[in-house]
A and B are shown apart, each in its own frame.
Chain A
Amino acid sequence: DAKTTQPNSMESNEEEPVHLPCNHSTISGTDYIHWYRQLPSQGPEYVIHGLTSNVNNRMASLAIAEDRKSSTLILHRATLRDAAVYYCILRDAAGGTSYGKLTFGQGTILTVHP
């Protein structure tokens, strides 16, 4: 599985934008970039995914570099509820025997200050 690199932790103030970076220099052409987050005492929650173009949904935006070697998850206005561990994960759209597998790294611990 292609690997991702994320900062161990980041901090933000409430109602300010947050940019969470992810490096994936060995990404292949069929790898989708997925983001999940895990709030305390809960299972991971899907946030967003994309392939080449920037993506927006009600939770966040995903900005993908032109060479696809990095991406940034953008929370436009952080709230206290956004304090969580954020995971950047590559998933091969070509499938294969491990198509159902998510490979989680250490993720980024986001702290939001009131």
Chain B
Amino acid sequence: DAGVTQSPTHLIKTRGQHVTLRCSPISGHKSVSWYQQVLGQGPQFIFQYYEKEERGRGNFPDRFSARQFPNYSSELNVNALLLGDSALYLCASSLGGYRTYQPQHFGDGTRLSIL
């Protein structure tokens, strides 16, 4: 079975631009979460979506937004890019459902570099 897939794998943007990152969850998984990982640190939670609704949000500015589609795939959008947005962006999927603690399955991420 295919795992979590993310696209693109690498991306270079300049300050002020907009970026869209995409994630396809494991088949049957209805929950998608997004994380930002800056070099040398652990991943930081950005968003979680379940059944197309936002279920959790981390401490990130409004420049960050996301959505989930009927097929449970997801997009992460970042506007007005800053140098500090350079990071590895990770997507994770799980079966989902309220009050669950199922493991999350991660993709290998999109490496975003801001010049």
Contacts and interface: CB of A to CB of B under 8 A. Distances in A.
Interface of A: 32, 34, 41-46, 49, 85, 87, 91-95, 97-107
Interface residues of B, number: 29
Query: 4 closest pairs, A vs B, by CB?
Result: A104-B42, A43-B106, A95-B99, A100-B48
Given A43-B4, A87-B42, A100-B56, 12 more contacts: A43-B90, A43-B108, A44-B92, A46-B103, A49-B101, A95-B98, A95-B100, A97-B55, A101-B56, A102-B104, A103-B45, A104-B35
B105 A46 contact: yes
Contacts of A46: 103-105
B101 A99 contact: yes
Contacts of A85: 42
A98 B104 contact: no
Contacts of B109: 43
Contacts, number: 73
11 contacts: A32-B101, A43-B90, A44-B92, A99-B55, A99-B101, A101-B48, A101-B58, A102-B92, A104-B44, A106-B41, A107-B42
Interface in B32-63: 33, 35, 41-45, 48, 50, 55-56, 58
B101 A43 contact: no
B31 interface: yes
Nearest to A94: B99
A100 B31 contact: yes
